[in-house]
Amino acid sequence: IQLQESGPGLVKPSQTLSLTCTVTEASITTVNFYWSWFRQPLGEGLEWVGAIGYNGDTHYNPSLYGRTTISRDTSKNQITLHMSSITPADTGVYYCARAPGSAATSLSDSSLYHNWGQGTRVTVSS
């Protein structure tokens, strides 16, 4: 399985960030897997952004709820992250990752994820 993140490297404050995770060698609808977005600000640890399950259900970090939307395009086998009202605090490397269904009650635990993309760097600056 391969996960590849893509998106604009530079976003202006107040805009909406859109990132795509393209998955190959596995289907995003395979039963009992969850697909999450994490991010890592420079010099800090990983922060869970949110997840979408194999059946399309979504889960979000409460601190980002309201301005984060995760969706999927099953025809393209892609997971998409949209984050509105971007500020410089949203700068960092964004990763997509896959976890088995056993992670359902602990989706924010990065250690439960077996497959990761290489990450895409996002800088929020005017």
Dihedral of CA 58/51/35/114: which sign?
negative
The reported pLDDT for the residue numbered 63 is: 93
> Rounded to an integer, what distance in angstroms lies between the CA atom of residue 37 and that of residue 19?
10
> Rounded to an integer, what distance in angstroms lies between the CA atom of residue 44 and that of residue 96?
17
The position carrying tokens 């709820």 is 65
Cα of first residue to Cα of last residue in the chain, in angstroms, is 36
List all residues 6 or more positions away from 68 whose beta carbon is below 8 Å from its beta carbon: 49, 50, 60, 61, 81, 82, 83, 84
Could you report the per-residue pLDDT of 6-36, keeping only the tens digit for each? Answer: 999 999 999 999 999 999 999 999 989 999 9
Instruction: Using 70 as the pLDDT threshold, list the residues of the chain that sit under it.
Output: none
